[in-house]
A and B are shown apart, each in its own frame.
Chain A
Amino acid sequence: MRIVLATAAWLTSPAHWQGSDGVAVRVAEHLALSGTALAAAALLALPVGLWLGHTGRHAPLVINLLNVGRGLPSLAILAFALPVAFWLGLGLGFWPTVLMLVPLGVPLIVINSYVAIRSVDREVVDVAWGTGMRGWEVFREVELPLGAPIILAGVRNAAVTIVATATLGALVASGGLGRYIVDGLARQETGRLVTGALLVALLSITTEAAFDMLERVVVPPSVRAAQHPGTRRLPNVGTRGSP
């Protein structure tokens, strides 16, 4: 009860919604951190994953390496990212946090993109080759649209993981919702702490829901119809990163 009251009191104070430490600014910072990291991760990972899936060359080696990388603790990655960012002259806060988040997203997107292209029915791909399509056309007209749901699921997993983990950036003086948690712990301010935790959890869940909606827009109806009638939702191939 005391906790609920403290949180309610914190949330209803107008001062906590405005200014540089206000909720609006912290959410915007959190989205800027996550958006930058997700864009960088997707730019790096999509070409690699799709190419691996299309050619099948070197795939086992790369996928195994990425699976090892996926097990790295995010706080440890942040620990390595901090000195790297410092020596690159990128300072504290924003960039060390992005440097931590990108390697968390990359394996999830590469693995799903690879699996997506590989899981396209081989007979369909053979027919495409047989009709005289070239490699690029087979990829663009057949493999990419049919693999779209699983590719997008990979980006979704990366987005959720990145939004959740961006919280840790507060430890290296970045903005975002992690500030409320780290400052709330330091100042022993229950309202601030709980608000921060609830907002981060809410933002992660919203991110997941937003990508599910995007999937409905992006995936062609014919592809959706072709999926097994029993499976309403697509398998979480490659699964999420650790919380």
Chain B
Amino acid sequence: MTAGEPLVRWDWVLGHADELWQRLLEHVTLTALAVGIGFALSFALALLVRRHRSLRNPITRLAGAIYTIPSLALFALLVPVTGLTRVTAEIGLVSYTLLILIRSILDGLQSVPAEVRETAVGMGCTPGQLLWQVEIPLAIPVIAGGLRVATVTTIGLVTVTALIGQGGFGYFILQGMQRFYATPLIVGATLSVALAILADSLLVLTQRWITPWTRATGGLA
């Protein structure tokens, strides 16, 4: 970053096309794994909370406490145990999705009106049918909102895992900081923001597509 140095050297971008592609794949894989595993875990925990109400506070408190730990600190604490590996990155990333996802799943299930539930029971739905065929479909808009926040947050947190040798586009940001070179810095940051916006838009479109009934009222608030 010396005077007269352009903000972005386009020849650098062209010269690193292959590496950019590799880092994109890495960023997407790390994010998809974290959100996928996080969602499965949260879903199981949310169902557990539905059955045992008293577990709600301890579980959300614990997830909230984890969320308070700064990402760099959490990854650093895991390094002595699991090393500079993808496992370390995923443990941290999955832990951070829990608070957002558990809350949205529980809120989503709670948002189903009591009349709807009673009608379903009155029509002879078993508890399993009530959950899978009535409550969960109606909860999708709220759950999808949580998934969007979790995905965007995770894409941002993946950049931090560059410090433990992972990182996707975060790798370029770290490289730019260490070499004091603006191009990888700006390119890495711009691409990670662009990826977050793209993922968010895709999730909005998917949600509208699978819940056609929300379109008429303009979707969820």
Do A and B belong to a common assembly?
yes
Residue of B nearest to A199 (CB): B73
Cα distance A114–B163 in the bound complex, in angstroms:
37
Cα distance A43–B2 in the bound complex, in angstroms:
33
B170 close to chain A: CB less than 8 A? yes
Chain A neighbourhood of B176, CB < 8 A: 79, 82
Q: Is the CB of B73 within 8 A of A181?
A: yes
Q: Is the CB of B73 within 8 A of A79?
A: no
Residue of A nearest to B164 (CB): A185
A172 close to chain B: CB less than 8 A? yes
B196 close to chain A: CB less than 8 A? yes
B148 to chain A, nearest CB (A): 9
Chain B neighbourhood of A240, CB < 8 A: 67-68
Cα distance A212–B124 in the bound complex, in angstroms:
49
Q: Is the CB of A196 within 8 A of B73?
A: yes
In the complex with contacts A3-B81, A75-B156, A79-B176, A243-B74 CB distance below 8 A: yes
Chain B neighbourhood of A71, CB < 8 A: 152-153, 156, 196, 200
The B interface is mostly helix, strand or loop, or mixed, namely: helix
Q: Is the CB of A72 within 8 A of B173?
A: no
Cα distance A162–B117 in the bound complex, in angstroms:
43
| Residues 85-108 of B at the A interface (beta carbon under 8 Å) | 96
A184 close to chain B: CB less than 8 A? yes
Q: Which of B34-42, B44-52, B132-140, B181-189 contacts A (4 or more CB under 8 A)?
A: B181-189
B121 close to chain A: CB less than 8 A? no
Cα distance A74–B158 in the bound complex, in angstroms:
11
Cα distance A205–B70 in the bound complex, in angstroms:
10
A208 close to chain B: CB less than 8 A? yes
Q: Is the CB of B163 within 8 A of A182?
A: yes
Cα distance A78–B192 in the bound complex, in angstroms:
13
Q: Is the CB of A204 within 8 A of B68?
A: yes
Q: Is the CB of A196 within 8 A of B189?
A: no
Cα distance A197–B79 in the bound complex, in angstroms:
11
B120 close to chain A: CB less than 8 A? no
1/0 contact trace for A84-118 toward B, CB 8 Å? 00100000000000000000000000000000000
Residue of B nearest to A240 (CB): B67
Chain B neighbourhood of A74, CB < 8 A: 156
In the complex with contacts A193-B76, A193-B80, A76-B1 CB distance below 8 A: no
Q: Is the CB of B156 within 8 A of A76?
A: yes
Q: Which of A182, A193, A205 has the most CB of B within 10 A?
A: A193
Q: Is the CB of B156 within 8 A of A242?
A: yes
Q: Which of A204, A208, A242 has the most CB of B within 10 A?
A: A242
Partner of A167, one of B68, B70, B81, B152: B70
Known: A73-B189, A200-B70; 7 extra A-B contacts, CB below 8 A, are: A74-B156, A76-B156, A160-B68, A185-B164, A197-B72, A242-B71, A243-B68
What is the interface of chain A, defined by CB distance below 8 A to chain B? 2-3, 6, 71-80, 82-83, 86, 160, 164-165, 167-168, 171-172, 178, 181-182, 184-185, 190, 193-194, 196-198, 200-201, 204-205, 208, 240, 242-243
What is the interface of chain B, defined by CB distance below 8 A to chain A? 1, 7, 67-74, 76-77, 79-81, 96, 152-153, 155-157, 159-160, 162-164, 170, 173-174, 176-177, 182, 185-186, 188-190, 192-193, 196, 200
